[in-house]
Structure 1
Amino acid sequence: MTDAKAAIRHLVVCASPAPAGFGHAVVDAYVDAVTKAGQQAIVRDLYGIGFDPVLKADERPDAPHWAPSADVAAELEFVRQASILVLVYPIWYGLPPAILKGYVDRVLGANYSFHRFRNEAGQPPLVGKPLLSFSTSGTPLAWLHERSQILALREIFDVYLWRGFGMKQSRHVMLDEVVANMPAAAAAEKLQLVRQAAAETCATLAGERPMMTGFEA
């Protein structure tokens, strides 16, 4: 492991509630690939750490004497040290779970006003860093396409955050038809897509290949 590769840190934020569920298998596969590439992965399991997603009145951006609460300050430090932000979450009713939206509100958007967001001023802990997302859905891609769900999710969550926070770019890998009785072969195939995306991302961060962008399935 070279010092340069060891200094590359992937912040993996997991918003999947079931510890033994497929979302955590995605996290494990991603972390395994990152480790094999000689880079570091830091996992923040939002349900596991009991993250409070509710933004308090005194946490609103530009509030007088604004200061992060202890839990937000700790999470912000992980973001600052990261080379890339990786989100892993299920799609519920067309959007990520509330706990992930709360992470965006309280951590990623800490003291970052809508004026600065609109002007794409850049959130210091995130500026210039890529965004990589893995989402799972029980429904097939064809159904999601019919209802413009894929385009809506990318525009509302990926592109909006990437540009508003001044991040480098975004890539989204969607894993569809993830259900409790999913065949083992199908699960293995999806996890291989995760490992492949992780390996490609590691190569990009190491300067060995250009970053892939867009929405994939």
Structure 2
Amino acid sequence: MTPTMNTNISKTQTARSTHLVICANPSPASFDTAIVDAYSAEVRDRGHKAVVRDLYALGFDPVLKEDERPGQSPWAPRADVAEELDHVRDADVIVLVYPIWYGMPPAILKGYIDRVLGANYSFRAVHDQRGQTGLAGKPLLSFSTSGLPLDWLSERGQVLSLREILDVYLWRGFGMKQSEHVMIESVVPNMSTAYATTQLDRVRHTAARTCAMLENTLLVEVYES
């Protein structure tokens, strides 16, 4: 049978995505915050929704509790995790924004992964790539900043390690659609305005491209339904 286009085309054309933007930098004056603002503004300018969760501003507790470990019976999320899980389920794309500290993301982001993204998802589920509820089939987009140049980090294997340990692991282990990582180097207090502007333009371009990708996905889903 040949599929036919859904007759409610006007509704399809106005369908919009929700971008869950997770910020993991303790300073509201950081360049990571500027990335969050630029990304969110571009998303909203295009008629999509950006939901920002600033983990430090929220006072998010990154420490996993014994009763939160996967496989507990009965298992139930604590109130703060339940709220974050609602945002995850409502999102069409997960966006992580964080600085690279000692070759790794801040501990608060790892705690968010432990308690929220990995909520009640066991190592066996990761191994079998069963797909985490609320994450399966959704794209993962990351923006990271570093004071050091990427060439220096690459020489020491940190760029590849970060992508393999975090991006690829989450993408495949949680059954997500894909992962993309935009690394912004040489983010220092005295960086030039021109350099900062260029990098934020990259952020806005990525946001626009992500919106377009999600719009196409929504159109295809309606067409195939």
TM range (shorter): over 0.9
Q: 1:136-165 CA distances to partner (integer Å, 9 max, x unpaired)?
A: 000001101111111100000000010000
**Among candidates 121, 124, 146, match of residue 112 of structure 1:** 121
Query: RMSD in angstroms over aligned alpha carbons?
Result: 1.4
**Is 1:65 the equivalent of 2:60?**
no
Q: 1:16 & 1:168 partners in 2: Cα distance? A: 26
Q: 1:7 & 1:56 partners in 2: Cα distance? A: 36
Counterpart contact for 1:134–1:174, Cα < 8 Å: yes
- Structure 1: 5+ residue stretches without partners: 209-217
Q: When you count helix as a share of all residues, which structure comes out higher? A: 2
Q: 1:193 aligns to what?
A: 202
Q: 2:53 aligns to what?
A: 44
Percent of aligned pairs with the same residue? 62
- Structure 2: 5+ residue stretches without partners: 1-9, 218-225
Q: 1:45 to 1:4 in 2, by over 3 A?
A: farther
Structure 2 length normalisation: TM-score? Answer: 0.90
Counterpart contact for 1:5–1:206, Cα < 8 Å: no
SS of 2:56's partner is coil
Q: 2:12 & 2:105 partners in 1: Cα distance? A: 35
**Is 1:180 the equivalent of 2:189?**
yes
Moved over 3 A (4+): 1-7
Q: 1:101 & 1:35 partners in 2: Cα distance? A: 28
Q: How far 1:5 moved relative to its partner?
A: 4.8
Counterpart contact for 1:2–1:38, Cα < 8 Å: no
Q: 1:31 to 1:2 in 2, by over 3 A?
A: farther
SS of 2:42's partner is helix
Structure 1 length normalisation: TM-score? Answer: 0.93
Q: How far 1:65 moved relative to its partner?
A: 1.0
Structure with larger RCO (C-alpha < 8 A, sep 6+): 2
Query: How many residues of Structure 1 are paired with residues of Structure 2 in the alignment?
Result: 208
Q: 2:159 aligns to what?
A: 150
Q: How far 1:192 moved relative to its partner?
A: 0.5
SS of 1:47's partner is helix
Q: 2:34 & 2:82 partners in 1: Cα distance? A: 28
